[in-house]
Structure 1
Amino acid sequence: GGMLPEGADAVTPFEDVEEQTDTILIDKPIEAGSCLGLEGEDIKIGETILQNGTFLHAGHIGAAASIGIGELECYEKPVVAVGVSGDEIAEIGETLGPGEVYDTNSYTLSAVVFKSGGVAEKLPIVRDSVEQIEEALSSSNADIITFTGGSSVGERDLIVDAIRNLGEVIFHGITVKPGKPTLLGKVGEKLVLGMPGYPTSCLTIANVLLTPMLRKMSRSEYKADSNLVEATLSETVTSKSASHQVIPVKLSNGTVKTVFKGSSVITSMSNADGYIELPDGISEIKAGEMVSVTLL
């Protein structure tokens, strides 16, 4: 990396030189200009090295540093407050009481947020109380608040009631299975995404709705088909539901099989490599057909 001495027009690697007493022996021909880095040969004056909206990787950072730029103006990562509600939910590390389960959704959602370009802030567990949910919604300064549990379409619509008291419910209930009781609301400038408490339902909606939201907000490159692979279905999949179905699957040697065991069990997703979709109106996909698998 040193300056070329005056009068020289090439450099030869040290390993190609044999040192003698007061001379060196070079047994390979050297062409003029060999092993030289010329001024301006990489980045020229006036050349654009980064476009507005570029999703930065290490090479971009290095290019900026090479011309003396140590700071770049970037979009902030969206902050997502991750909340769970339920009298039966216990923190990891606590001793489970009768009927209690460990908090799963905070951890799976935080992982989805991180992977999707956001920053997750885990909220304390909220009990089944409209007042506690309202307090959590009001006190958070996040861009998005996610809440799992308490959003079922029934008598105890706790999150729905809390959002209506503080803001507006944009929609409640979608024709997606699993994940039917999903809701979207707004409290001030904050979006609130209410998801089912069942782990598989929750993670499914996070992949289908939360990930695209975060990619859009963070200006990250997001192409719906960028993580799709084609595979042969090893078994016939049928549906009696009128909903759009999202089905976790396992890939093996170009074939795919379903691993869904139920909305309430997390292993439906932990054993999956991705998911396939069975749109509303399609009741069957036969074994041997090619399907598109969205990788997790």
Structure 2
Amino acid sequence: MGRFRPFGALISLARAQELVLAAAQPLEASESMELAAAAGRVLAAAVVADHDVPGFDRSAMDGYAVRAADVAGALPAEPARLALLEAVHAGHQPRSEVSAGSCIQIATGAPLPEGAEAVVKVEDTARDGDAVLVRVAVERGKHVVPQGEDMCAGDEVLSSGMVLTPARVGVLAALGLAQAQVYRRPRVMVLPTGTELVPPGRPLQAGQVYDSNAPALAPLVQQAGGVSERTPALGDELGVLEKALCAAAASSDIVVVTGGSSVGERDLLAPAMKRLGSIEFHGVAVKPGKPVLCGRLDGTLVLGLPGNPTSCLLTAWLFLRPALRQMARRPPDLRRWQTAKLTTAVRAVQGRDQLMLVRLEGTGDALRATPCYRGSGAIMSMALADGVVALPAGSGASTGERIEVELL
């Protein structure tokens, strides 16, 4: 009969997060990415405009390109009469030059003709055969987008380290760039452990459960800026786990092991890491999430997360997500809190901080927080939760108490 291996001294949640971030160094490698797939990626090099945008003076309105002096005294009752030379559309060059007493019909975005100084909106004009009646005066530059107004040649328009938003992708496209140089995304290999695990889509046998952790971690990794792969569920054998750990460490930036990090006879991650690599910590003074392990194998960060679904996802949110964002060179999460009134008392937990999942209802001062934690093994605990309340060890909360809820 096997024996348990009790945890050693537990470390605080804050200290555990510090150690994980210290091990999650930002990646240096970069790659070239097509613009269509570049949104959300992080620029690895500054972008300097090699030409003006726009590259010519252009019209900001549909109307008529004129000389300011020709319409200086124009009024609705006494319009200026100008000879219409031609019409020019966006993407085409005007053939004529605007001279005294003349104008050119112009579309939004079309190049301003030679000799023209301003554009009169079509709404402020009337047609009279081949002539145009201008009913308002305009100053030089009116309704004209000057060359280089958006970007000037030689300007640094985007800096290294910027996250490519849709607008920043648009900047690259406006400069004629088809690709962006971006930092490589951290690679995460997920190793589910447990002989009881079955991938979704297959029939269950007696005593088996579907693996919900690996499918749930994949979008979390993606949202944090990483890319994930997974192995089939590993059996509870030390040799099998060690072989998988070595292979994953050789091809990944972070290895995530789900299950196998507690103290049972079949929780083999700690023994495997002691043999193969090093352990930064094993055991965190928090509920849920006590069995978290952090270590290194051949320079690769290894995170052991609890096998119970809620504990797994919550600890991934606490440890894996910020580590990935740092490695991907994304800015830290903007943490958001709301104050709500607790609907049900929460009892204190001795010796460990407590993270209470809550569902939020109502708005403003009437916002209510209802605990929805059904146990660390219930995935619905996380599925129903809008936020989490952190309670220090030995502290509970009473019904009606106003509490700070960090939004998930």
TM-score, normalised relative to structure 1: 0.91
Map of 1:255 onto structure 2: 368
Which of 202, 205, 227 is equivalent to 1:119? 227
Shift of 1:289: 3.3
Q: Secondary structure of the residue that 2:118 maps to in structure 1? A: coil
Is the counterpart of residue 295 in structure 1 residue 407 in structure 2?
Answer: yes
| Deviations 1:197-239, CA, capped at 9 Å, x for gaps | 110110110111111111111111114x533333332332221
In 2, distance between residues paired with 1:166 and 1:19? 85
Q: Secondary structure of the residue that 2:219 maps to in structure 1? A: helix
Greater relative contact order, per chain length (Cα 8 Å cut-off, separation 6+): 2
Amino acid in structure 2 at the alignment position of 1:275: V
| Deviations 1:246-281, CA, capped at 9 Å, x for gaps | 111111122211100111110001011121111224
Alignment of 1:103-114 (within 5 A): 103-114=211-222
In 2, distance between residues paired with 1:241 and 1:14? 76
Amino acid in structure 1 at the alignment position of 2:275: N
Which of 378, 386, 393 is equivalent to 1:280? 393
Is the counterpart of residue 246 in structure 1 residue 355 in structure 2?
Answer: yes
Amino acid in structure 2 at the alignment position of 1:256: A
In 2, distance between residues paired with 1:71 and 1:107? 31
User: How has the CA–CA distance of structure 1 residues 6 and 99 changed in structure 2, closer, same or farther, with 3 Å as cutoff?
Assistant: same
In 1, distance between residues paired with 2:360 and 2:125? 54
Is the counterpart of residue 230 in structure 1 residue 343 in structure 2?
Answer: no
| Deviations 1:41-88, CA, capped at 9 Å, x for gaps | 222344332223222212222223333444433221111111211111
Q: Secondary structure of the residue that 1:72 maps to in structure 2? A: strand
Q: Secondary structure of the residue that 1:238 maps to in structure 2? A: coil
Unaligned stretches of 5+ residues in structure 1: none
In 1, distance between residues paired with 2:325 and 2:216? 17
Shift of 1:30: 4.5
Is the counterpart of residue 85 in structure 1 residue 193 in structure 2?
Answer: yes
Alignment of 1:206-225 (within 5 A): 206-223=316-333
In 1, distance between residues paired with 2:273 and 2:154? 52
In 2, distance between residues paired with 1:180 and 1:156? 17
Amino acid in structure 1 at the alignment position of 2:278: E
Map of 1:180 onto structure 2: 290
Alignment of 1:122-141 (within 5 A): 122-140=230-248, 141=251
Map of 1:200 onto structure 2: 310
User: How has the CA–CA distance of structure 1 residues 102 and 20 changed in structure 2, closer, same or farther, with 3 Å as cutoff?
Assistant: farther
Map of 1:98 onto structure 2: 206
| Deviations 1:140-182, CA, capped at 9 Å, x for gaps | 2110111111111233331122222221222111111111111
Q: Secondary structure of the residue that 2:156 maps to in structure 1? A: coil
In 2, distance between residues paired with 1:232 and 1:191? 40
Is the counterpart of residue 149 in structure 1 residue 262 in structure 2?
Answer: no
Is the counterpart of residue 34 in structure 1 residue 142 in structure 2?
Answer: yes
Instruction: Report if aligned partners of 1:204, 1:246 keep a CA contact under 8 Å in 2.
Output: no
TM-score, normalised relative to structure 2: 0.67
Q: Secondary structure of the residue that 2:205 maps to in structure 1? A: coil
Instruction: Report if aligned partners of 2:349, 2:396 keep a CA contact under 8 Å in 1.
Output: no
Which of 270, 284, 292 is equivalent to 1:160? 270
In 2, distance between residues paired with 1:292 and 1:158? 38
User: How has the CA–CA distance of structure 1 residues 86 and 24 changed in structure 2, closer, same or farther, with 3 Å as cutoff?
Assistant: same
Amino acid in structure 2 at the alignment position of 1:47: D
Instruction: State which drifts further: 206-215 or 12-21.
Output: 12-21
Instruction: State which drifts further: 73-82 or 89-98.
Output: 73-82
Instruction: Report if aligned partners of 1:49, 1:64 keep a CA contact under 8 Å in 2.
Output: no
Q: Secondary structure of the residue that 1:74 maps to in structure 2? A: strand
Amino acid in structure 1 at the alignment position of 2:406: T
Larger radius of gyration between Structure 1 and Structure 2:
2
User: How has the CA–CA distance of structure 1 residues 234 and 25 changed in structure 2, closer, same or farther, with 3 Å as cutoff?
Assistant: farther
Instruction: Report if aligned partners of 1:153, 1:173 keep a CA contact under 8 Å in 2.
Output: no
In 2, distance between residues paired with 1:115 and 1:6? 51
* Seq. identity, %: 39
Amino acid in structure 2 at the alignment position of 1:208: L
Q: Moved runs in structure 1, 4+ residues, more than 6 A? A: none
In 2, distance between residues paired with 1:192 and 1:239? 32
Unaligned stretches of 5+ residues in structure 2: 1-108
CA RMSD of aligned residues (A): 2.1
Instruction: Report if aligned partners of 2:190, 2:214 keep a CA contact under 8 Å in 1.
Output: yes
Instruction: State which drifts further: 53-62 or 200-209.
Output: 53-62
In 1, distance between residues paired with 2:355 and 2:263? 20
Shift of 1:288: 3.4
How many equivalent residue pairs? 294
Instruction: State which drifts further: 90-99 or 169-178.
Output: 169-178
